Structure 1
Amino acid sequence: MFKYLTKSEIPPVTGGSSNAMVFKLCRSFRTPLVCFLSGFCLFLFTRLGQPNSGPLPAAKRFHPRGQVTDVEDLEVLDYHGDKEQDIQDFLKANEDPFWVKREECAPYPLFENINFRHPHFQETRGGNLTYYIYGAYYDRRPRIPEIVVLAMISTVTGPYPTTYCQMWFEGESQAEISELHDTKLGWYREWGNREYLAYPTLLTFQVNSRRIPQLVAIVFDDRCNVAQNAVKVVQPPTSQDEERMRSDGKLRTGICVKYLSFPDEDISPRIVEWMEMMKILGAVRVTAYDIGGLHANTSRTLAKYTNDGYLDYRPYQLLNVRKEDELLGMRLNEVLLYNDCLYRNMYDFDYIAVMDVDEVPMPLGNCTNWPDLLRELVTRDVNCSSRSSYCFNNVYYPKELPADPKIPQDFPMLSHLTRVAKHLDPWLAAKCLHNTGSVTLLHNHFPLAWYDACAPDSVPLELGQLQHYRTVEDKNTLKEPPPQRDDNIRRFSHQLIRNSRKVHRQLGW
């Protein structure tokens, strides 16, 4: 801070003193300097105190505590970091101490040996097959714990070469090696088969100890081969974290969404209404995948939920999608992502739902949320001690039918209260709540594999239905049988509108 001298403190000025001349010159500018600083502070105060006059531009995002920050602070695409850089830093940090005493069998992986032709996959060859390795997870549900490696593999029929998993534990240079225990293919050949595509596959390897590996790699034919891949294992929560999560005794449900692709349409109102509806029904968190191609306002809305911690929005680029088989290629990527979501979150939730943002597994009757519905279903399920999945029958709420004019049109679900007369047949376009204690392989409509549990069962229509808000394929259902009003969602209208409007204000709408 400046200290202004009193007249008595001013040193005497001698004609030959340059210091005295400088002092007199500075003193002469004191008043203009004070005026300038005061004016500048007043300018900053008035500028920063102005209220927002409208929505923020796309280059801004909202922080959950209310202050506005630049997009660089909250950039969704970089939320989880780059996989290649992440594994490079990890391997480089361990390279020197581990390679000083290089093992003759299964030496520690070198980053230079890994093939990153794709931002999210490591490519390696086994026999005449190409493996695109995506992730690795520790599964302690079986009697003998397993490492699950999730990959896309260039066969839908097999056979697979002899395969080993090299596992490295913290502070150790010698790998534990386990031969392939099981292969689960997340696709049926009858659904589509092209030689040049890769198919979602789970490779499981048993862990011989109760320790959790930090890093794994798969090799072929010879267990001692130098690895051409290396994947960090998604670590389960600690027992203290799990106890804290479950301290309230409530069933916890998470949601898996494949990806969103709406480059020309702003679906922000739909996203807000759907997210707030999921919260009301009891979803603890939503996991979705960002492949780009979104309207700027939609990205801004998703960033809000990401920064609130409610949305885990993970960057992803599609693999092996060609124009001639675009739909098939995208379906294969979907199955991969559903299973990444399952294994990434299986310790956080009791049940996981796989759905799109135009779907709501709606509890009916006296149940108003998923935990209450699940307790009712388990109570009724007297012939089964553990059920793998509870699946909802699909019924369409068509966009072609007029919306209720009394409901604000930025609530597309709440304003569409008329559905087609008939539900689809059970298991046709159904969506399920999956038991994370038993399900081991997911498809978007039902589980493909489970253990120590009964087969999936349908939710009775008096207890729940899948409300699907979209256009219908069979236009005849818009007239015959006559559509009927089913406004059960209005039970939540007050809370849904109130919560959504709060988000609208945060986003500057």
Structure 2
Amino acid sequence: MGSSSGGRSKYINFRNKQRANMSFFIVVMFFAVFGFIVFTEIFFIDEKEKTTGILVRHGSLSYHHNKDKMDYDNEFQDDDYISIRVGQAMMDTGDIGSFLIGKPRMHIPNIDNAPRYVTKVISENQLPPYPENFTISYGSWQNVNGSKYKFFVFSAYYDQRRNQRNIRIIAATKTRGPERVWCRLWYRIMDGNATVNISRTVPAKLKIIRENWNLRYSACFVMCPLRANLSVPVAVSVVAKLKDPPTNMLNVINNLNESNWKAPSMNSAPIGRFGVCVKPLHFDYNKEMEIMEFIELNRLLGVDHFTFYNHTIGPQVSCILRDYQEKGIVTLLPWKLAMVSQKEIRTEGLFAALNDCLYRSMYKFSHILLIDLDEYIIPNYNDTLPQLIDYLNHRLNTRSTGSFSFQNAFFYLQWDDDSEVYDFSDPISSNLVTLKKTRRKSKLHPHKQRSKYICRPELVVEAGNHFVWEFIPGHGTLNVPADAAILHHYRICEFGGNDCIKTSSTVDKTAYRYLQSLTRTVREQYDRLKYKCGLSKPKEPPTRVFQKILSMLKPAQRR
């Protein structure tokens, strides 16, 4: 009995030792495999950096081709620049280096410092010359030829912030795994009596713009770095293959230089002007009274300029906007992006438009509003938006403020018109939504949900629809208290039907502050353009009796 018990105990101890040894062995093997993986990764990363990429030395392009490489997040290499001279006489590109930094020309011997591992050297004169038949564009969608997937570029801007000098291109391409592309930076110099086009070519870095719903294509930034010895180019082309001729030509917009803005710091506004950015107008947009109300009310609020993008607009709105363009109040840019909205890219590529407007406005306007045509930022105590911003600057600490966020309030169109509509003598007044609809939802949306904002463009890197995604370091968003101002949003129920009007509501007549002046300015614009643009006759204001009949019929219709 005792012998049997002692044997069982020894067996159990033996098994326990076996399990302990096995556990120790498994742990050792795990760390061994883990260490091997880490070592392998480090080894291959090092090899990848040594055996791929593009290096340029004094006018020759050393090019190692690797079809499978799509590593676009790496920082720009220091030496990957090409120099190309195109003109009546082909010369060594070393001669133009001094010109680009403002020094007399001096010949630099052509020395090939390319590493031994580079497998192919492309000479400068093998690259296609400047396309003389191209018209430089200040903003239009152009194709990047030779790419496997859709790739379009719209506009280009010089961006020198954060101690980084880049040409920032507004573009649209594949959301995941975009293709490698190159920037050809074009310069113009005089060679005797002839104008000569020279270029420097650099590999681009792509940055996908957020809020793309993970659709196939997305708005993006194409970044072209400028080294210290390069001045700002006249134009830029984006190419997918170096030996392919450019199929796009974008003017490099340098608002910092054009505005002669000499601010002592980023916290000094260039000029006290306000601009408005609106996403692309589509579905043959032709609401003539709405567009005039939007422009005239925002002008009363202190806005100086409006930037619109024409996807598809109707004849009356086109005529109205043309009139504002002639006055310098509106910029209207073509927006023919060959991507299917909501299937391939979000809402006509609106984030490319918003960010184009951001950079187009930079150094031209101290503040910009990114809003839709049915939205207005209305101050509660100030008459204008510049007064509101000044009020906030004195009331709150706004030293690091890059944007001012305003909470959204829905003024549902299904709610009855304000009773004062019946007393309006001018039919223009009764056709203005900000005067007709004064009942709004009591509960405001929190910031970042349906909110809109006013931003200081020089402090913003990437603009979103409802909030700023990225600021210059050290800056952020100020959530404006609702008692100072809110966003008035005039629309139908957001989820369809009419259930939204059952929610708690309140009457808000803040916009009536502008009743007389808004009616007058819209009336003047209407009378001046009604025959020229073929505008529709405004609907006459309803009578009280007619409105009572309609109110009685509404419950029956709902049943």
What is the alpha-carbon distance in structure 1 between the residues aligned to residue 354 and residue 164 of structure 2?
24
The amino acid of 1:215's aligned partner reads: A
Deviations 1:235-287 (A, max 9, x none): 426466658xxx99862211111222354x85211111111111011111000
Q: Deviations over 1:62-106 (max 9, x none)?
A: xxxxxxxxxxxxxxxxxxxxxxxxxxxxxxxxx997254276425
Q: Please name the residue that 1:170 is paired with.
A: 188
Q: 1:130 to 1:417 in 2, by over 3 A?
A: closer
**RCO higher in structure (CA 8 A, sep ≥6):** 1
Which residue of the other structure, out of 331, 336, 340, is the alignment partner of 1:312?
A: 331
* Match runs of 1:235-384 below 5 Å: 235-236=254-255, 238=257, 242=261, 251-261=272-282, 263=284, 266-294=286-314, 296-321=315-340, 325-326=342-343, 329-331=345-347, 333-365=349-381, 367-382=382-397
Taking the TM superposition and a 5 Å limit, the aligned residue runs for 1:73-472 are: 98=87, 100-101=89-90, 104-105=123-124, 108-110=129-131, 120-125=141-146, 128-154=148-174, 156-158=175-177, 160-161=179-180, 163-171=181-189, 173-180=197-204, 182-188=205-211, 191-194=213-216, 198-209=217-228, 211-219=231-239, 227=246, 229-236=248-255, 238=257, 242=261, 251-261=272-282, 263=284, 266-294=286-314, 296-321=315-340, 325-326=342-343, 329-331=345-347, 333-365=349-381, 367-382=382-397, 385-404=399-418, 405=421, 406-407=423-424, 408-472=429-493
TM-score, structure 1 as length reference: 0.69
Cα offset, 1:456, TM superposition: 2.2
Aligned-partner SS, 2:519: helix
Q: Which amino acid in the other structure matches residue 490 of structure 1?
A: Y
Matches of 1:174 and 1:274, distance apart in 2: 46
Note if 1:487 corresponds to 2:509: yes
Amino acid at match of 1:231: L
Question: Which amino acid counterpart does residue 497 of structure 1 have in structure 2?
Answer: T
Q: CA, structure 1 residues 96+148, in 2 after alignment: closer, same or farther (shift >3 Å)? A: closer
Q: 1:174 to 1:274 in 2, by over 3 A?
A: closer
CA distance in 1, matches of 2:457, 2:513: 29
Q: In the alignment, which residue of structure 1 is the partner of 2:523?
A: 501
- Please give the alpha-carbon distance, in whole angstroms, between the structure 2 residues aligned to 1:160 and 1:354: 30
Q: Shift of the alpha carbon at 1:214?
A: 0.4
Maintained 8 Å contact 1:358/1:468? yes
Aligned residues: 394
Could you tell me whether the CA contact under 8 Å between 1:109 and 1:228 is conserved in 2? Answer: no
Contact 1:122 1:134 in 2 (8 A): no
Report deviation, 1:448.
2.1
For the structure 1 residues 489 and 157, does the alpha-carbon distance in structure 2 shift closer, same or farther, using more than 3 Å as the test? Answer: same
Supply the distance in 2 between the matched residues of 1:220 and 1:266 (Cα, whole angstroms): 39
Q: Distance in 2 between matches of 1:254 and 1:176?
A: 35
Instruction: Please state how far the C-alpha of 1:233 moved relative to its aligned partner.
Output: 1.4
Residues 187 and 248 of structure 1: CA distance in aligned 2, closer, same or farther (over 3 Å)? closer
Aligned to 1:71: none
For 1:175, what is the secondary structure of its paired residue?
strand
Q: Aligned partners of 2:179, 2:144: CA distance in 1, in Å?
A: 16
Q: 1:449 aligns to what SS in structure 2?
A: strand
| 1:283 match: secondary structure | coil
CA contact (8 A) 2:183 2:238 kept: yes
Task: Kindly indicate whether the alpha-carbon contact (under 8 Å) linking 1:319 and 1:329 is maintained by their aligned counterparts in 2.
Answer: no
**In structure 2, distance between residues paired with 1:112 and 1:307:** 29
Q: Kindly state the Cα deviation for residue 465 of structure 1 after the two structures are TM-superposed.
A: 0.6
What's the CA shift for 1:129?
A: 4.7
- The letter for the 1-side match of 2:370 is V
Structure 1 SS opposite 2:227: coil
Task: Single out whichever of 303-312 and 138-147 deviates more from structure 2.
Answer: 138-147
Query: Against the structure 1 CA distance between its residues 360 and 99, is the aligned structure 2 distance closer, same or farther, given a 3 Å change threshold?
Result: farther
CA distance in 2, matches of 1:456, 1:147: 26
What is the deviation of 1:468?
0.5
**In the aligned structure 1, how far is the partner of 2:326 from the partner of 2:354?**
22
Q: In the TM superposition, what whole-angstrom CA distance separates every residue of 1:458-501 from its partner, at most 9, and x where no partner exists?
A: 211011111001112254441232x2110001111121112222
Structure 1 equivalent of residue 114 of structure 2: none
1:169/1:214 contact within 8 Å kept: yes
Post-superposition Cα deviations, 1:197-244, rounded to whole Å, max 9, x if no partner, equal x2111022222247321011234586x87645432212426466658x
Q: Is the 8 A contact 1:150 1:336 kept in 2?
A: yes
Residue 99 to residue 217, structure 1, CA distance change in 2 (3 Å) = farther
Task: Calculate the TM-score normalised by the size of structure 2.
Answer: 0.63
Alpha-carbon distance between aligned partners in 1 of 2:146 and 2:151, rounded to the nearest angstrom = 6
Q: Displacement, 1:503?
A: 1.0
Structure-2 change in CA distance of 1:341 and 1:119 (3 Å): closer
Range that drifts further, 409-418 or 96-105? 96-105
Percent identical among aligned pairs is 22
TM-fit CA distance, 1:349: 0.8
Shift of 1:153: 1.1
Q: Is the partner of 2:277 in helix, strand or coil?
A: strand
Note if contact 1:403-1:415 (Cα within 8 Å) is conserved in structure 2: yes
Whole-angstrom CA distance in 1 between matches of 2:270 and 2:494: 42
RMSD of aligned residue pairs (Cα, Å): 3.3
Q: Does the 8 A contact of 1:414 with 1:489 survive in 2?
A: yes
Q: Check conservation: 2:261, 2:270, Cα contact below 8 A.
A: no
Pairwise CA distance, 1:107: 5.2
| Alpha-carbon distance in 2 for matches of 1:248, 1:354 | 18
Aligned amino acid, residue 187 of structure 2: F
Provide the rounded CA distance (Å) in 2 between the counterparts of 1:177 and 1:221: 12
